[in-house]
Amino acid sequence: MAEEDLIFGKNRHFFGGIEPSNMLAFGVAVESGVVKVTATLPNDTVVNNQTLCTVEGAIIRRKTTDYPKDEFDGDLVANIKAYTVFADSGASPTGTYYYAAFPYTTQGVYNRNKANRVVVNEPEPMQEFSAKSVYVSASDTVKVEITAKLPSGVAGAVIRRSTTGYPTSETEGELFKNITANGTYTDINVTVGVVYYYSAFPYTSTGAYNRSEANRTSVTPKKRDYLFGYDLVKATSSPTGRVTYPSDVDNAAFTPAAMNFSTGKFNYGGWAFDPGEKFMPRPCMLTYAGVVDHYLNPNDYTKKVNGSASKVADTSFGGNAMMEWPKIYTKRWESNGVYHFRCSDTPQDDTWDCWCNYDRNNNQIDHFYTPIYFGSLVSGKLRSISGAANSVNTTAANEIAYAKANGNDWYTEVLADRLLLQDLLVMMARSTECQTAFGYGRCNSSNSIAPGTMNSKGMFWGSNDKTSGVKVFGMENVWGNLWRRTAGWINANGTQKVKLTRGTHDGSTATDYNTDGNGYKTIANATPAGSSGGYISSMKTEAFGRLPVTASGSSSTYEADGMWYNNSQVNYAIVGGRWDSDLVVGPFYASLDYTASYSYSSVGAALSCKPLAAA
pLDDT of 289-322, one tens digit each?
999 999 999 999 999 999 999 999 999 999 999 9
Please name which of 228, 473, 460 lies closest in space to residue 328, comparing C-alpha atoms.
Answer: 228
Give the span between the Cα atoms of 414 and 609, in whole angstroms: 10
pLDDT of residue 206: 80
> Of all residues in the chain, what percent carry a pLDDT higher than 70?
97
Q: Is the model's pLDDT at 207 over the cut of 90?
A: no
SS3 of residue 158 by DSSP: strand
Is residue 64 very low, low, confident or very high in pLDDT (cuts 50, 70, 90)? confident
SS3 of residue 572 by DSSP: strand
For 419, the enclosing helix (H) or strand (E) is helix 415-429
Q: Is the model's pLDDT at 337 over the cut of 80?
A: yes
Give the span between the Cα atoms of 231 and 245, in whole angstroms: 6
What is the per-residue pLDDT across 243-264, written as a single tens digit (0 to 9) for each?
A: 999 999 999 999 999 999 999 9
pLDDT of residue 581: 96
pLDDT of residue 213: 93
Strands 45-47 and 50-53: antiparallel
SS3 of residue 434 by DSSP: helix
Give the span between the Cα atoms of 520 and 504, in whole angstroms: 9
Average pLDDT (521-535) is 98
Q: Is the model's pLDDT at 5 over the cut of 60?
A: no
Give the span between the Cα atoms of 186 and 159, in whole angstroms: 12
Average pLDDT (210-220) is 94
Is residue 2 very low, low, confident or very high in pLDDT (cuts 50, 70, 90)? very low
Give the span between the Cα atoms of 552 and 532, in whole angstroms: 9
**List of domains in the chain:** 3-120 (2.60.40.10), 128-219 (2.60.40.10), 227-258+273-412 (no CATH), 432-606 (no CATH)
Is residue 348 very low, low, confident or very high in pLDDT (cuts 50, 70, 90)? confident
Quickly count helices (H) and strands (E) in the chain. 4, 45
Q: Is the model's pLDDT at 240 over the cut of 60?
A: yes
> Of all residues in the chain, what percent carry a pLDDT higher than 90?
91
Average pLDDT (370-385) is 98
Give the span between the Cα atoms of 611 and 368, in whole angstroms: 7
Lowest mean pLDDT among 72-81, 199-208, 390-399, 483-492: 199-208
Strands 603-604 and 174-179: unpaired
Confirm if 394 and 374 have CB atoms less than 8 A apart.
no
Q: Name the β-bridge partners of 564.
A: 591
Strands 141-149 and 183-187: antiparallel
| Sign of the alpha-carbon dihedral angle for 294, 300, 306, 310 | positive
Q: In what order do the strands lie in the sheet with 329-335?
A: 243-244, 227-233, 338-344, 329-335
pLDDT of residue 16: 62
What are the strands, taking DSSP E only, across 12-92? Answer: 25-31, 34-40, 45-47, 50-53, 55-63, 75-80, 84-87
